């Protein structure tokens, strides 16, 4: 298996391909995005018709756009969808009008504090139209009549999402969810999509204990739709992780599940601390990405969120400055490495029962000490065996052992494997 650090350039190349596409919560941009991801991993694509009731929501009409611009009195396109999909308010209704700048201003969105940046704005559930542009562009626009054109359609269609499943040894599932609805934003969330894609490829190279289900869906309405369509089997979901903002230069941030003490929370806290990376662990809040849907009280799944700089935590967030220069292969490779390490712990975190619990069993006559001969960490490995034996009471898992003993999880897991093979412990 190739080291995960080698995948940074490949993930960046995937982000480069995905970045220009015009995505929204529905439409052909989502399908085109999933088509590209489908070149890397097999996807099961679902189309959910407009009007479908999904929990307390309804699948909206499908939005597609072909062209949009604002032309000045001389006929020059001063705002052009062809230059960037961010230039159009997401879900804008069709418009073909001429109007004075004084009237047009109410439909123009800028960032005065960052005059060269273009904001990302949407109006999903309220019919509206508008354009996003740099403040310096607006400042240079003279009074006069402007041609305004948005060639879009809002019509009955479908909401599209996709799944990829890595089969495990058991039917219990770990979900990995990322949103695929944002146009021309590299970190939020094409970097998350790229890391999820390569994480799925890495897991497929082995036979994990859990079944891993990757969900590529539009934000909010996509996760709600998935939950509505899987409500009868959601009890299989034992752990989960929402991936977003996975490629920026900030340090990693893990946002805990609503439970706060879910196994995924403990695993991420342990892995991030053991790695000695700069990081933050934050409490759950019912705002942010789709962890708030999976952690809604009716489901209350053990799903946390892993980002680098979190939601709205960097100036470039939801602006044209969240571009290909803002993300890096190194940052995505680092995020991927932590995901792999976390799932390696999660996958091996078993509870065992000591089959010789009265006194310490004789390890030497079973060849267990001899098997450690020559190892640089022989003392650690011996201590790990003793700790595993002592805490194999059916109540403690291997993560408990690692945390309490201060020994590396890999050493603890290897000790458990040797003891299990020797018939001293069982699951």
Q: What per-residue confidence (pLDDT) applies to 367?
A: 81
Q: What per-residue confidence (pLDDT) applies to 3?
A: 44
Q: What per-residue confidence (pLDDT) applies to 1?
A: 34
Classify residue 310 as left (phi > 0), alpha (psi -120 to 50) or beta: beta
CB contact at 8 A, 252 and 306: yes
Summarize pLDDT for 217-243 with one digit per residue, the tens: 999 999 999 999 999 999 999 999 999
Residue numbers of the chain with a pLDDT score lower than 70: 1-6, 370-376
Residue 179 makes CB contacts below 8 A (sequence gap 6+) with: 189, 192, 217, 218, 219, 222, 223, 244, 289, 290
Tokens 């230039």 found at:
87
Q: Which domains does the chain have, with CATH numbers?
A: 4-60+158-348 (3.40.630.10), 62-155 (3.50.30.90), 351-426 (1.10.10.10)
Q: What per-residue confidence (pLDDT) applies to 368?
A: 86
Nearest to 340 by CA among 147, 202, 175, 168: 202
Q: What per-residue confidence (pLDDT) applies to 21?
A: 97
Summarize pLDDT for 188-212 with one digit per residue, the tens: 999 999 999 999 999 999 899 999 9
CB contact at 8 A, 161 and 59: no
The token pair that represents 46 in the structure block: 């679902």
On the CB side of 175, CA atoms within 13 Å amount to 28
């Amino acid at each position: 298996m190739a080291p995960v650090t080698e995948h940074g350039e490949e993930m960046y190349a995937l982000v480069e391909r995905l970045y220009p596409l015009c995505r929204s919560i529905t439409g052909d941009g989502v399908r085109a995005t999933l088509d590209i991801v489908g070149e890397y991993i097999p996807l099961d694509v679902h189309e959910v018709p407009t009007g479908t009731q999904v929990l307390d929501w309804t699948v909206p009409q499908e939005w597609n756009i072909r062209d949009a611009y604002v032309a000045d009195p001389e006929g020059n396109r001063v705002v052009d969808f062809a230059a960037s999909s961010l230039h159009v308010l997401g879900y804008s209704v069709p418009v073909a009008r001429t109007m004075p700048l004084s009237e047009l201003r109410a439909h123009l969105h800028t960032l005065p504090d960052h005059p060269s940046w273009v904001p990302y704005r949407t109006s999903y559930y309220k019919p509206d139209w508008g354009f996003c542009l740099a403040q310096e562009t607006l400042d240079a626009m003279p009074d006069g009549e402007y041609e305004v054109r948005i060639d879009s359609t809002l019509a009955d269609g479908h909401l599209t999402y996709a799944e990829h499943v890595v089969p495990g040894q058991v039917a219990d599932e770990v979900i990995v969810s990322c949103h695929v609805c944002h146009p021309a934003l590299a970190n939020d969330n094409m970097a998350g999509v790229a890391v999820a894609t390569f994480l799925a490829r890495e897991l497929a190279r082995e036979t994990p204990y859990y079944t891993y289900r990757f969900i590529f869906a539009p934000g909010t309405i996509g996760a709600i739709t998935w939950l509505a369509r899987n409500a009868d089997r959601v009890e299989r979901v034992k752990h989960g992780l929402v991936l977003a903002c996975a490629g920026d230069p900030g340090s990693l941030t893990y946002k805990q599940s609503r439970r706060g003490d879910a196994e995924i929370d403990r695993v991420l806290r342990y892995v991030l601390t053991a790695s000695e990376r700069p990081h933050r662990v934050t409490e759950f809040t019912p705002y942010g990405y789709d962890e708030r849907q999976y952690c809604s009280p009716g489901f209350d799944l053990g799903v946390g969120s892993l980002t680098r700089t979190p939601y709205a935590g960097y100036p470039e967030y939801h602006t044209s400055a969240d571009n290909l220069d803002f993300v890096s292969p190194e940052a995505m490779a680092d995020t991927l490495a932590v995901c792999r390490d976390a799932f390696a712990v999660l996958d091996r975190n078993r509870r065992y029962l000591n089959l010789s619990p009265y006194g310490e069993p004789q390890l030497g006559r079973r060849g267990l000490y001899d098997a450690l001969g020559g190892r640089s960490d022989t003392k650690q490995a011996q201590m790990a065996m003793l700790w595993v034996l002592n805490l194999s009471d059916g109540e403690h898992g291997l993560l408990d052992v690692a945390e309490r003993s201060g020994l590396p999880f890999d050493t603890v897991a290897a000790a458990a494997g040797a003891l299990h093979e020797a018939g001293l412990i069982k699951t």
